[in-house]
Amino acid sequence: MALDGIKVVEFAGLAPGPFAGLVLAHNGASVIRIDRPSSTTRDLLCAGKRSIALDMKTASGLRVAKELIAKADVVIDPFRPGVLEKLGLGPEAFHSSDKREGLNDRLIFARLAGNGHDINYIALSGVLSMLPGTTDKPAFPLNLIADFAGGGLLCANGILLALLERGRSGRGQVVNVDMVSGSRYVSSFPLLNAVSGSWGPRGTNLLDGDAPFYDVYTCSDGKWMSIGCLEPQFFAQFISKFNGVMKSSGKQGSWSPSQSTQITKEDWPKLRKYLEEGFRTQPRDFWTEVFHGTDACAVPVLSPTEAAQFYGLHPMPHPELSRTPPSHLRDEITTLDPGKHTADILKELGLSEEKMRQLAIDGALGKEAQALKLPKSKL
């Protein structure tokens, strides 16, 4: 795989950090997650990772974390600015300066920053105000834009760019990912259109709910169909098929749209009502069959369970590389128990049983020290 041999240290966090680590793990990187002892965080973005539990409030736990990072290629920092600096684990502890030699000048230090949560980031980015919703307020798309697209995915992209540059310079660097800026970057198309004046108020544009031929419709069984026939040739196929169903069922009514209706905006309210009433006459799977194999750009809205039947339980790593494809790691859905690999990771660092025992005595490993099978009298 493309990242075989790359060592990553990921401090346990939520959403963007784990996703960045998952992207790297899927492509062959060895990812070690540092958890707090007795952590209860439930992270599903853990395929291919290992976990060590360390209490970095202890001097010995902090030393182990520092040694892990000193031997790593990448560290993923999900904390507020300054947290790792206070622990002596910031970039300056590993990169050389005019005054001192660094512990790991090849280290790529990836930092994710944001004050709040996804909904706050996209609110500040200008993107949330443009999203569809009700007439009263816009709706937010789960936490996909800031946490995952503008956060985790751009973080992984920044790490890959830094690895590529390191191949030329031999030096690491800091990758700064601000999730407000990241949200703006992945939303470049609507934002640039907005500032150029070619995007109207929310709900008046082709892609934000104004066009009846780019929307979601409810069927008779309560399920939904999506249509996105923006191009005239696709709309022509869609409306021809739709009118055919309405005519054969005797429910076409006194008015029916033609291909030219798409460019006659004053007819859009009538078209929307026609489609709403029409889709409600049949169940979703009926409409799926009507449009299957056509260029009408009309497809069913699948539930997560339905989509898993087609694509598998786990989302497939993407993109695919022809010679060095990513690992699919498509096992059952599991979480990674904090500290599950503590003993193995410590051994790989070269620690003797006596030193591991001392870590347990110091409290650096928390309750996870029991996994080392150390004598209770020593704990």
Count CB neighbours of 224 within 10 A: 17
Residues 6+ apart with CB under 8 A from 327: 1, 25, 26, 27, 28, 48, 317
Q: How far apart are the first and last CA of the chain?
A: 41
Residues 6+ apart with CB under 8 A from 78: 11, 12, 13, 14, 16, 17, 112
Among 73, 118, 147, 210, the active-site one is 147
Count CB neighbours of 243 within 10 A: 16
Burial of 40 (0-12, 13-18, 19+ CB in 10 A): exposed
117 annotated active-site: yes
147 annotated active-site: yes
The C-alpha atoms of residue 202 and residue 138 are separated, in whole angstroms, by 8
Omega before residue 319 within 30° of 0, cis: yes
- DSSP string computed for 210-269: --TTEEEEE-TTS-EEEEE--SHHHHHHHHHHHHHHHHHTT---S----GGGGG-GGGHH
* Tokens encoding 112: 């994710």
Among 105, 117, 328, 362, the active-site one is 117
What residues act catalytically?
A: 117, 147
